[in-house]
Structure 1
Amino acid sequence: MEIDEIIDTIYPLTSTSKDLIKKSILQTKLPKGHTLFKANKIETRIYFIKKGIARAYAYSEDNQITFWFGKEGDPIVSMQNYVNNQKGYEDVELLEDCELYELKTEKLQKLFLEDIQIANWGRKFSELELIKSEERLISLQFNTATERYLALLKNYPSIIQRVQLSHIASYLGITQVSLSRIRAKLK
């Protein structure tokens, strides 16, 4: 997905404001398995996925708990870093070879002060991330595992071909055995 489309999906900007952001963005390619963010570190960049898929996870005892998947067009951001400039609690792993747009958080913060359109874009960006978190929390609280699985397939139709079932089960808050039962039942 091209950066213009990603920017416009968040909040449409004037061409002047969009050009200011684009001048601050670098493109990078990183391999499958690369850990983009590490827990307990302050990350100085946010990313947008041009091509590929990633997951965010945290540790619980000896298990990795996946709580987010990102695909083409999605941001990769540690909100704890972005909002509070504090160490994040998550690791972010690339599940495929990825092409990413990279933006230094410090540069974006300067652009917020210089351009009201970009500041509004940043506000909208944060609001959209908050809504995603709220929807995820509500889903975990009120939907069955089958409903969560169907919603995941709706939002990420190709996820079964792109992501290990263990990560999907973890994301859904169930075991791999339960996921296999759900999949068999739906066939």
Structure 2
Amino acid sequence: MNIIQILNKIYPLPDSSAAALKEHIQSVSFPKNHLLMHADKVESKIYFIKKGIVRAYADQADNEITFWFGKEGETVISMKSYVENRPGYETIETLEACELYELNAEKLKELFLQDIHIANWGRKFAEKELVKTEERLISRQFKTATERYIELMNENPDLLRRIQLGHIASYLGITQVSLSRIRAEIK
């Protein structure tokens, strides 16, 4: 996906606003297993995924808990850093070699003050991120691991082919052995 397609997927922008935003976005590439964002650090960049997959996780004791996957067309952001300028709780890692678009969060906030269309785009972006977070929370609280796996299988079947099972099990909140059992039952 090109950057204009990604931006317009969030909220359609007039050509002039899209061009103004695009002026501050650059293409970057990172290898597999690169850490894009670090927990306990204020992150100043926002990324849009052109190609590749990333995961967000939190360290707990001797374990990493994966709570989000991002793929082509999605945004990578530490919301706590973006909204409150405080250190985030997530580490975000590339699971494949990634081609991304990079935007400085402070530059985006400056553009909000200059262009109402970009400000509305930012509001819509934040609203959509809130809804996605709410859906993940509700899924985790009210659905069984089997239901969550089936949902992942139906909504993002490509992730199951591209992400190692250990990360998928962590995302589902189960062990890899339990994931293998669920996969066997479904087949």
Could you state the TM-score of these two structures normalised by the residue count of structure 2?
0.99
Partner deviation per Cα, 1:142-176 (whole Å, 9 max, x = no partner)? 11111101111222211122111000000000110
The CA RMSD measured in Å over matched residues stands at 0.6
Counting aligned pairs with the same residue, the percent is: 61
Look up the match of 1:57.
Answer: 57
3-state SS in 2 of match to 1:158 = helix
The count of aligned residue pairs is 187
Partner deviation per Cα, 1:94-121 (whole Å, 9 max, x = no partner)? 0000000000001000000000000000
Where structure 2 has 5 or more consecutive residues not aligned to the other structure, the ranges are none
Look up the match of 2:151.
Answer: 151
Distance (whole Å) between structure 2 residues aligned to residue 161 and residue 142 of structure 1: 26
Say whether residues 1:6 and 2:28 are aligned partners: no
Runs of 4+ in 1 over 6 A off after TM superposition: none
Distance (whole Å) between structure 1 residues aligned to residue 161 and residue 11 of structure 2: 31
Look up the match of 1:166.
Answer: 166
Look up the match of 1:186.
Answer: 186
3-state SS in 1 of match to 2:82 = helix
Distance (whole Å) between structure 2 residues aligned to residue 89 and residue 98 of structure 1: 22
Partner deviation per Cα, 1:65-115 (whole Å, 9 max, x = no partner)? 000000000100000011111001110000000000000001000000000
3-state SS in 1 of match to 2:157 = coil
Look up the match of 1:30.
Answer: 30
Superposition pairs for residues 35-184 of structure 1, below 5 Å? 35-184=35-184
Distance (whole Å) between structure 1 residues aligned to residue 29 and residue 83 of structure 2: 26
Partner deviation per Cα, 1:37-82 (whole Å, 9 max, x = no partner)? 0111111100000000000000111100000000000100000011
Distance (whole Å) between structure 1 residues aligned to residue 90 and residue 145 of structure 2: 23
